Amino acid sequence: GQQVMQIPQYQHVQEGEDFTTYCNSSTTLSNIQWYKQRPGGHPVFLIQLVKSGEVKKQKRLTFQFGEAKKNSSLHITATQTTDVGTYFCAGRTEYGNKLVFGAGTILRVKS
Amino acid sequence: GAVVSQHPSWVICKSGTSVKIECRSLDFQATTMFWYRQFPKQSLMLMATSNEGSKATYEQGVEKDKFLINHASLTLSTLTVTSAHPEDSSFYICSASSGADTYNSPLHFGNGTRLTVT
């Protein structure tokens, strides 16, 4: 079945450093979504990417969708303590109706 | 924005009893809702897709007789964990999409239910 791999599993950075999490799918995706889950909270939608090679920005967050639509990344510039949480990618196949979540990357930021 | 309310937030029950979890879309109608299970520091595993007015679609390995899903209205889906055992202890979370295209719209998640079976 469809698998979505996400790395790293965990990252601890100093405040002000950059952070990147990567997502890779075993099959071509129709779209990919990113969610953030704060400790003790529920996942909150960040963004959806649909087009091959698409790049979207939200303030310090940059999201990319690979040309082959099988991988994606989320990059945070100059992390802040408010960025702490788990970041999940979730991909949907071209012929499927399920959203498959990656394992998530736990981000911790030292101030 | 679209809000999904889930109740209860946490529940402790004895082994062998049943627990019902409610998931409501407060400001939109949801013909489809999704139930996930999340273990500590792990990803969200889709358990089943709840369809209003029809039977739920369960993922492989999920026992439909143990995890009963009812989607009686466009704003309410319930998950009942029957004859709960300690291994059912987990974080259960529901979600729904407010977009016209359920399968290409963002998901809005409830706050989740922490179930502990003693």
pLDDT tens figures, B71-112: 989 999 999 999 999 999 999 999 998 877 777 788 999 999
Over residues A25-40, mean pLDDT: 93
Q: How many CA atoms lie within 13 A of B85 on its CB side?
A: 3
Asked if the model's pLDDT at residue A28 lies above 80, the reply is yes
**Residue A96 pLDDT class (50, 70, 90 cuts):** low
Q: Taking CB atoms and an 8 Å cutoff, what residues of chain A touch B111?
A: 41-42
Predicted confidence at residue A99, as pLDDT, reads 87
> Is B61 touching A (CB cutoff 8 A)?
no
Asked if the model's pLDDT at residue A93 lies above 90, the reply is no
> Is A98 touching B (CB cutoff 8 A)?
yes
Q: Taking CB atoms and an 8 Å cutoff, what residues of chain B touch A42?
A: 93, 109-112
For residue B48, what is the nearest residue in chain A, using CA coordinates? Answer: A98
Separation CA B109–CA B46 (nearest Å): 13
Predicted confidence at residue A25, as pLDDT, reads 94
> Is A34 touching B (CB cutoff 8 A)?
no
Query: How many other β-carbons are positioned within 10 Å of the β-carbon of residue B64?
Result: 13
Predicted confidence at residue B69, as pLDDT, reads 95
Q: Where are the beta strands (DSSP E) in B3-102?
A: 4-7, 10-13, 19-25, 32-38, 44-51, 57-58, 67-73, 76-81, 90-96
